[in-house]
Structures are given as structure tokens and as C-alpha cells.
Amino acid sequence: MLTFAQFGAGRIGRIHAANIAAHPRARLARLVDVQDDAARALAESVGAVVCDASSVFADPAIDAVVIGSPTDTHADLIEEAARSGKAIFCEKPIDLSEARVNACLATVAKAGVPLMLGFNRRFDPNFAELRRRIDEGRIGKVEQVIVISRDPGPPPAGYIRSSGGMFRDMTIHDFDMARWLLGEEPTLVHAVGSVLVDPEIGRLGDIDTATVVLTTPSGRQAVISNTRRAVYGYDQRIEVHGSGGMLQAANVPISTVSEAGAGGITGDKPMPFFLERYAAAYQAEIDAFIAAVEAGTPPNPGGEDGRRALMLADAAIASLKQGQPVAV
């Protein structure tokens, strides 16, 4: 039985808390959040107690921590957890600065504790199946990856401001997917970006519509198509072209119902947003973390995956600014 403490009782925190509580070999003992009410309500529903951060690190009964607090607290909490010898599951990103990430990962390495990054999409049953089939050799050698990743609507201005920009906040998941599926590290990034959805996003110095091309040394190519607004829902599709065939992971519809009428045959929209679309993925990633900690094997994706995805995001930002491809 693995005993957890969790930082963060927000949207994503509630998901992790429930998944840990429901896990047959784990329990959530402590919950930390600056929003006391939210923390208390969530703690009660899963049988945990609310406390402050220092009691978590001081408590030898805590085996592992889940870090789901705001981004700017991640690196500090990771380091404190590492120094206290806790296994760490942290939401992406580790930090928005590559230097800080490097320092943080060095601390983790020194402490020798397991660290898993919350790249939840690797655990989506559909994308996981994609990868499994690539690994099985079903489409031969991977040649091109197309990641369609479109949010239903833009976040509020406040979120944009502290997000590190679209590439570090949203595309970072797609960078991870591309890396994970290409089977070779991308070494060149070329990004084009526009403000087509909301001029306010442009005023904040960010973009809302992007196409990013990644290439690898052997000539494999990935393209990511992003927008902050898709009126038909959360569009999350991937296709992988290989020497022996193509794999596609389609959207997950809300239901399999279709309606035939005078206007055509209408199928249901994709799941509205990440909480619904990736519900199974969140459950599977915590299970994978627990299994890795139990087995003493390095959890996957780990800190290096977080660092590499951030490097690709930073290269995309540079490419956008310079108007040309940037080497990673």
C-alpha cells in the first residue's frame, strides 16, 4: 500500500485524488492547498487530512507525492520532495525555464528518487495503442507523424499571461507525443504562428493558431496543427505514417449515436475537453506511477522527457521570433 500526499486540490487535483483513493494498492493521506475550503472538501471525500507542505515532507509515512499545484511551485516542491526521499509524480511542466529544470533534475538525480511527469496523453488508451502497434512493427519504420491538437476554446487572459505561451503550455503535450512516436529525437523545429482567434491573446504577446514542423536527423518529419478554438470540441487526433502502413487515432466521441435527417448524418462531437477525453489516461498514469514505484523501476515519462519537451517548445518560440528553423 503506497501512501500519498498531494499538492493541489483544483481541477486536476480532484482527478488524481479520486484515482488514488480508488486504487487498490494506494491511499491518499494528506492534501495541501492554499485554498483551504477546496482542500477540506476534497480531503473529506477521499478520507485524507489537510495539512501544510512542511508536515508532508517531515512525515516518514508518506511514500509519494503528487504535485498538481500552480506551475511556479513545481520545481521547489520537486526539490523538497526529492530531498525528503519521496517518489514524485508532477504535472507538466517542471518549470518554464530550462535552467531551472536542469537544476531541479540534478537535485532529483542526486536524491535518487523516482520522478514521473504528467504527460497524460501517453496513457490515453488510443494513443497508447498507436505506440504499441508501432513498437510491434505493424507499420514498419516511422516516417511522418501528424498531430492534430485543437482546444475547444481559449483560456482566460490571466491564464495566458502566466502560461509561458502557447508552445510551452499547450503544444508541449504535442511535442511529447511527436517525440514519443517519431522514435528519434527531433533536431530541427520550424514554427509558424498567428493570432486568428482572439486579438487579446496577441496583445498579451502570445499566438492562438500554429503549425510546427519537427525533423529528425534521419529525415523523419512531424507536423503539429494547433488552435486555441474549435467550435466542435476538443480535437485530438494523431496519424503516423510508416514504411508499411498508417496508424490513425481518431477522436473519442461523446456517444456512438448518430442522427440521420434531412441535413445529413450527424455523429456526436468529440469529448468536450481534457478532463473527459483523458479520464482513462489519468487513471492509467497514476497506476503506472504506482507500479513503477513498487517495482523500483524508473517511471516513464520521467524528468528528461519534461526537459526535452520544454526544449522543443523553446525552439519553437525562437523559430517563431526569427522566422526560420531552429536547431535543438
Per CB under 8 A, the segment of 32-40, 56-64, 93-101, 146-154 that binds its own copies is 146-154
Indicate which single residue of 14, 121, 122, 150 sits in contact with its own copies (rule: CB under 8 A): 150
The Cα 312–Cα 177 span in angstroms is 12
- SS3 state at 104: helix
Which residue is associated with the grid cell 481534457?
A: 274
> What's the CA gap between 78 and 57, in Å, rounded?
11
Q: Residues 96-125 vs its own copies: string with x where CB under 8 A?
A: -----------------------------x
Minimal distance, residue 233 CB to its own copies, in Å: 8
Site string for its own copies, 51-90 (x = CB under 8 A): ----------------------------------------
Q: Which is nearer to its own copies, 100 or 138 (CB)?
A: 138
Contact predicate 46/315, CB 8 Å: no
Q: CB-wise, 70 or 245, nearer to its own copies? A: 245
DSSP 217: T
Q: Is 231 in the site for its own copies (CB under 8 A)?
A: yes
Q: Strand runs (DSSP E) across 36-141, as ranges?
A: 49-50, 64-67, 87-90, 115-117
The secondary structure element, H or E, covering residue 316 is helix 303-322
> Which range of residues in 33-41, 96-104, 144-152, 286-294 is near its own copies by CB under 8 A?
144-152
| Nine-digit cell string for 262 | 434531412
Q: How far is the CB of 200 from its own copies (least distance, A)?
A: 15
Q: How many CB atoms lie within 10 A of CB 27?
A: 15
Q: Per CB under 8 A, which of residues 201..220 are in contact with its own copies?
A: 209-211, 213, 215, 218-220
Among 230, 284, 310, 313, binds its own copies (CB under 8 A): 230
List the interface residues with its own copies, window 269-328 (CB under 8 A).
269, 323-325
Contacts of 184 (CB under 8 A, 6+ apart): 216, 217, 218, 220
Contact criterion met (CB below 8 Å) for 158 and 190 = no
Q: What distance, in Å, lies between the first and last C-alpha atoms of the chain? A: 42
List 85, 245, 272, 298, residue binding its own copies (CB under 8 A): 245
Residue 187 as a binder of its own copies (CB under 8 A): the answer is no
State in angstroms the smallest separation of the CB of 56 from its own copies: 25
Residues between 2 and 41 that touch its own copies (CB under 8 A): 22, 24
Count of residues making up the chain: 328
